[in-house]
Amino acid sequence: MPLSHYFDTTPSGPSAPRTVVLVLPDLTLELTTDRGVFSAEHVDAGTRLLLQEVPPPPAGVLLDLGCGYGPIAVTLARRAPAGRVWAVDVNARARALTATNAAAAGVANIEIGAPDEVPDDLRFAALYSNPPIRVGKAPLHDLLAAWVPRADIAYLVVSKHLGADSLARWMQAEHGWRVRRLVSRVGYRLLEVHP
Ligand SMILES: C[S@@+](CC[C@H](N)C(=O)[O-])C[C@H]1O[C@@H](n2cnc3c(N)ncnc32)[C@H](O)[C@@H]1O
């Protein structure tokens, strides 16, 4: 069987659902994960750091870019019950899990879709992402160049070891975006980006 990646569009491995628990100061979520999605065994430490440290969401439409099984999107939907959250991922299994997890958390203010299902003219009050660093530098840069300018502000959590500082330098030098390091902890940087 060919090697499978968490960013495949249709994971080839058999399904093996499990539950992980996300405990945050303001809420606790039980989330279903599965083989073939990012960090299926536990909520990723970078994702947890982002959710612990980001400011409260602004009014308007929010974007979780690369939603995986939905820990960021579902948390945002709970924190912004009057807002609307788009959860976007190329991985169909991840999108299905996000739908399951939104329903289990009792949130209905989430739209879940593949990247090409997002209306072209939609802008976002804030973008949140634990981006798919492992897709490689050029696809990652293309992804950020396509989505970050559609948001008023972006919050990205990136492992220091996987190049957070060089990514921050690239965003500043290549695009002129203002990048501020909000937090550096447990090997991750939480970056606030003003496109
Ligand atoms: C590091 S994971 C983060 C998943 C989830 N947000 C979390 O925190 O657990 C990055 C996600 O980006 C998705 N992804 C990869 N390429 C993408 C693309 N071009 N557009 C949207 N999502 C993509 C992957 O499938 C993966 O689910």
Tell me the per-residue pLDDT of 149-167, one tens digit each, with 9 for 90 and over: 999 999 999 999 999 999 9
Expressed in angstroms and rounded, the spacing between residue 56 Cα and the centre of ligand 1 is 22
Tell me which residues have their CB closer than 6 angstroms to ligand 1. Answer: 6-7, 38-39, 44, 47, 65-68, 71-72, 88-91, 94, 115, 130, 132, 135, 143
Question: What is residue 10's predicted lDDT score, i.e. its pLDDT?
Answer: 82
Q: Ligand 1, atom 10: nearest CA belongs to which residue?
A: 132
- Our mutation pick for probing the ligand 1 site, out of 67, 85, 124, 127, counting the most ligand atoms within 8 A of Cβ, is 67
Neighbour tally for 17: CB within 10 Å: 12
Query: What's the confidence (pLDDT) of residue 5?
Result: 82
What are the pLDDT digits (tens) for 52-72?
Answer: 999 999 999 999 999 999 999
Protein residue with least CA distance to atom 8, ligand 1:
47
Residues of the chain with pLDDT under 50: 1
Q: From the CA atom positions of the chain, what is the Rg in Å?
A: 16
Residue 144 is predicted with a pLDDT of 98
- Specify the pTM: 0.97
Note every long-range contact of 100-106, with CB atoms under 8 Å and residues 24 or more positions apart, other chains counting: 100/32, 101/29, 101/31, 101/32, 101/69, 101/70, 101/71, 101/74, 102/70, 102/73, 102/74, 102/77, 104/30, 104/31, 104/32, 105/29, 105/74, 105/77, 105/78
Q: Around Cβ 29, how many Cβ atoms within 10 Å?
A: 20
What pLDDT, on the 0 to 100 scale, is given for residue 3?
Answer: 61
Question: Which of ligand 1's atoms lies nearest the C-alpha of 37?
Answer: 27
pLDDT at residue number 1: 43
